Chain A
Amino acid sequence: MAILSVQNLHVQFKTPFGAVYALRGIDFELAKGEILGLVGETGCGKSVTGRSILRLLDDNAQVTAGRIAFENSDLLRLPESAMREIRGKRIAMIFQDPATALNPLFTIGQQLADVLRAHAPGAAAARRRQSLDLLASVGLPDPAQTAKVYPHQLSGGQQQRAMIALSLAAKPDVIIADEPTTALDVTIQAQILDLLRRLQRERAISVILITHDLGVVAETCQQVVVLYAGRVVEAGAVAAVFPAPQHPYTQGLLAALPRPGSRGSDLKVIPGNVPSGLERIDGCAFAPRCEHVMNRCRARQPAFTSFSAAHHAACFLHEASVCG
């Protein structure tokens, strides 16, 4: 059952150079208790998607169409006061760089207390106990000590654990994690992903994991949504998509993934660049970089083709094969 569903989401930004079309119709569903990986190259709209859900886009952003369904309501149409009740308490967020996402001038304990106070009025002593429990549950050694320190006194991995503790404070149902491991060492990355998996299992939290690393998706997620230039090009269960990717872009990303035993020179990188978002794209946005490109790819948008109940992709190669 879907706890959150994003439908036909269009977002654009007003800039001095004209409108930037960041999202051009995004659809996906987050199933309850699952981890969904949102992947794509830089600039494809992963963070904008995540921030749209919590309505935390920059001031120059405009949602021009779409719906974000969460528990019988459309988040895009809720009043700001209702949205504040959702943020943190129902849907929380974890950020890429914990060093800047934690406030440098407040101790970890003070920052936890602020979140707890905002969502659950109660005694200071109760809040303090809750804070220590939270710090312990994200695997920070010596919670009492950690509560007393400032962010700069923690290592990157510890900072991200503290950030996760903050996001858990008001017991959310959904966590949006925007590249939570990109700023960390490889070994720490694995620990943080383990922690996310464990929390998702133990607390039945649903997670949107934003990443550009398909390896992370393979290890962590049940579902995957591949974005390209503000659109979904392929989506489905990880178990279905990874063995048999159908969109040339997904195929390219997977081919670029280092495999055990492969040498650097074996890696295939997709040639070309992501379009800027300033120009309107009539056909398939990936056409200029696609090795299978056909005339109609440039003329209009391919529709989705389903390969199984849990796997679909938008590419004319398959539309052709289905239509004969």
Chain B
Amino acid sequence: MAFVSFLLRRLGLSVVVFVGVLLLTFIVSRIIPSNPGALYAGARPRPEQVAAIEKKLGLDKPLSEQFHIYVHDLLGGDLGESYHSRRSINADLSIFLPATLELVIAAVLIALVIGIPVGVLAGAYPRGVFDYATRFVAIAGVSVPSFWLALIAQSVFFSQLGWLPLGSRISRDATLFYPIAAQTGFYLIDAAISANWKAWFDALHHLILPALVLSAYPLGVTIRMTQASMLEALSEAYVTAARAAGLPRRVILFKLALKNAIMPALTVVGLSFAYSITGAFLVETIFSWPGVGKYVTEAVLNVDFPVIIAVTLVVTIFYILVNLLVDVIQAFLDPRLRLV
């Protein structure tokens, strides 16, 4: 029961944040472009053309009414259309968003699967060789710029070793000879659903390098946070008590201490997960990954406001959802959090 009311309160909070972002994006989109009608009309429009377009886009109406229309469309799931290509943003995002999410989720999974055990061991054996080695790796992961890492990775694994492709999501052969039937837009999932294993391995092959590069930052953060909170958890009285009770070291580290240590680590990992989505934009450009990053970069160059706003909203929703997820996991793990 406590859990349900916690969930409701937490959801309420998310809604408030979302409404705030709606307001902000609206203000930004109406105030910053000096003349949206002219932007839409293209090069050297005549005044009557601009007026017609303003009428079409509803820009001649009072701001309050414009806001009403804006919110109404968004809640109906309509993100509008690009000023530049005149294409539906919904249709565009349904292609680009899964590509980015596939990349980001792969990166974060790598970060969690490697980062948590490494952080636990580094926290369990402080001041050892392992500790210093992981510290070095973690700090490097956080501080090395991703574009540099991407270039090095490409030159090693593509140019020198020839093990992995240079970029893009899938090979031309795969698209021609064993195309993936689109369902979710996640290639690994779609290929698995249709048991198209050749395409699955091809997609995985393309995913490895960009996902590894993108995981450097969340991996570093995960290791550092897990290690720090492990060190703290291991100094708690309940750990001494568990040792005094003769519990095996494995149980103390990976069950009793880790469950406590994962709490602060999760918060930061959640943030870096959300952060990775914007971090992905750079990595996508370098690896020619057809994702939201490439999409929005073009929109920025073209001052294509509806696209910029739509992507901002989508990223915001992603942030909100990830934070919500982190809070729910934490409340699930820690009964005391459900009370507050």
A and B interact: yes
Inter-chain contact A114/B238, CB cutoff 8 Å: no
Inter-chain contact A102/B238, CB cutoff 8 Å: yes
Q: Which of B244, B247, B248, B260 contacts A93, CB < 8 Å?
A: B244
Contact bitstring A58-94, B, C-beta under 8 A = 1, else 0: 0000000000000000000000000011111100110
Interface contacts beyond A84-B248, A103-B242, A105-B260: sample of 14 additional A-B pairs, CB < 8 Å, sorted by A: A87-B243, A87-B245, A89-B246, A93-B241, A95-B244, A100-B237, A100-B238, A103-B256, A104-B238, A105-B335, A106-B256, A114-B242, A163-B241, A166-B245
Q: Residue B333 at the A interface, CB < 8 A?
A: yes
Q: Residue A101 at the B interface, CB < 8 A?
A: yes
Q: Residue A2 at the B interface, CB < 8 A?
A: no
CB pairs A–B below 8 angstroms (30 shown): A54-B244, A56-B240, A56-B243, A84-B248, A86-B246, A87-B243, A87-B244, A88-B246, A92-B245, A95-B244, A100-B236, A101-B237, A101-B238, A101-B240, A101-B241, A103-B238, A103-B259, A104-B238, A105-B259, A105-B333, A105-B334, A106-B256, A115-B245, A115-B247, A152-B335, A163-B241, A166-B245, A167-B245, A169-B245, A170-B246
Q: Residue A119 at the B interface, CB < 8 A?
A: yes
Interface residues of B in 233-287 (CB under 8 A from A): 236-238, 240-248, 251, 255-256, 259-260
Determine the residue in chain A with the shortest Cβ distance to B243: A56
Which B residues fall within an 8 A CB radius of A? 236-238, 240-248, 251, 255-256, 259-260, 333-336
A115 to B238, CA, bound (A): 13
State how many residues of chain A have any CB contact under 8 Å with chain B. Answer: 31
Closest 3 CB pairs of A and B: A88-B246, A87-B246, A93-B244
Determine the residue in chain A with the shortest Cβ distance to B335: A150
Q: Which of B240, B244, B256 contacts A92, CB < 8 Å?
A: B244
Most buried by B among A54, A84, A114, A153: A114
Most buried by B among A105, A114, A150: A105
- How far is the CB of A12 from the nearest CB of chain B, in Å? 20
- How far is the CB of B332 from the nearest CB of chain A, in Å? 11
A97 to B237, CA, bound (A): 8
Q: Write out the residue numbers on chain A whose beta carbons fall within 8 Å of the beta carbon of B245.
A: 87-88, 92-93, 114-115, 118, 166-167, 169-170
Q: Write out the residue numbers on chain A whose beta carbons fall within 8 Å of the beta carbon of B243.
A: 56, 87
Inter-chain contact A56/B260, CB cutoff 8 Å: no
Most buried by A among B241, B243, B260: B241
Q: Write out the residue numbers on chain A whose beta carbons fall within 8 Å of the beta carbon of B237.
A: 95, 97, 100-101
Contact bitstring A110-123, B, C-beta under 8 A = 1, else 0: 00001100110000
Which A residues fall within an 8 A CB radius of B? 54, 56, 84-89, 92-93, 95, 97, 100-106, 114-115, 118-119, 150, 152-153, 163, 166-167, 169-170
Determine the residue in chain A with the shortest Cβ distance to B127: A59
A203 to B251, CA, bound (A): 29
A150 to B238, CA, bound (A): 14
- How far is the CB of B180 from the nearest CB of chain A, in Å? 42
Inter-chain contact B242/A95, CB cutoff 8 Å: no
A87 to B245, CA, bound (A): 5
- How far is the CB of B125 from the nearest CB of chain A, in Å? 11
A102 to B237, CA, bound (A): 8
Inter-chain contact A118/B256, CB cutoff 8 Å: no
Known contacts A104-B334, A105-B259, A105-B260, A118 near B240 by CB under 8 Å = no
Inter-chain contact A104/B336, CB cutoff 8 Å: yes
Inter-chain contact B238/A118, CB cutoff 8 Å: no
Q: Write out the residue numbers on chain A whose beta carbons fall within 8 Å of the beta carbon of B236.
A: 100
Q: Write out the residue numbers on chain B whose beta carbons fall within 8 Å of the beta carbon of A150.
A: 335-336
- How far is the CB of B315 from the nearest CB of chain A, in Å? 33
Q: Write out the residue numbers on chain B whose beta carbons fall within 8 Å of the beta carbon of A153.
A: 335
Inter-chain contact A103/B244, CB cutoff 8 Å: no
- How far is the CB of B150 from the nearest CB of chain A, in Å? 39
Q: Write out the residue numbers on chain A whose beta carbons fall within 8 Å of the beta carbon of B242.
A: 103, 114
- How far is the CB of B300 from the nearest CB of chain A, in Å? 45
A84 to B247, CA, bound (A): 8
A95 to B237, CA, bound (A): 8
Determine the residue in chain B with the shortest Cβ distance to A102: B238
A102 to B246, CA, bound (A): 15
Determine the residue in chain A with the shortest Cβ distance to B239: A103
A104 to B245, CA, bound (A): 16
Determine the residue in chain B with the shortest Cβ distance to A100: B237
Most buried by A among B236, B246, B260: B246
Determine the residue in chain B with the shortest Cβ distance to A149: B335
A29 to B319, CA, bound (A): 63
Q: Write out the residue numbers on chain B whose beta carbons fall within 8 Å of the beta carbon of A93.
A: 241, 244-245
Inter-chain contact A84/B246, CB cutoff 8 Å: yes
Inter-chain contact B240/A104, CB cutoff 8 Å: no
Q: Write out the residue numbers on chain A whose beta carbons fall within 8 Å of the beta carbon of B251.
A: 114, 118
- How far is the CB of A269 from the nearest CB of chain B, in Å? 30
A54 to B259, CA, bound (A): 25
Inter-chain contact A118/B246, CB cutoff 8 Å: yes
Known contacts A95-B237, A150-B335, A104 near B260 by CB under 8 Å = yes
A84 to B241, CA, bound (A): 13
Determine the residue in chain A with the shortest Cβ distance to B251: A114
Determine the residue in chain B with the shortest Cβ distance to A166: B245
- How far is the CB of B145 from the nearest CB of chain A, in Å? 38
Inter-chain contact A85/B246, CB cutoff 8 Å: yes
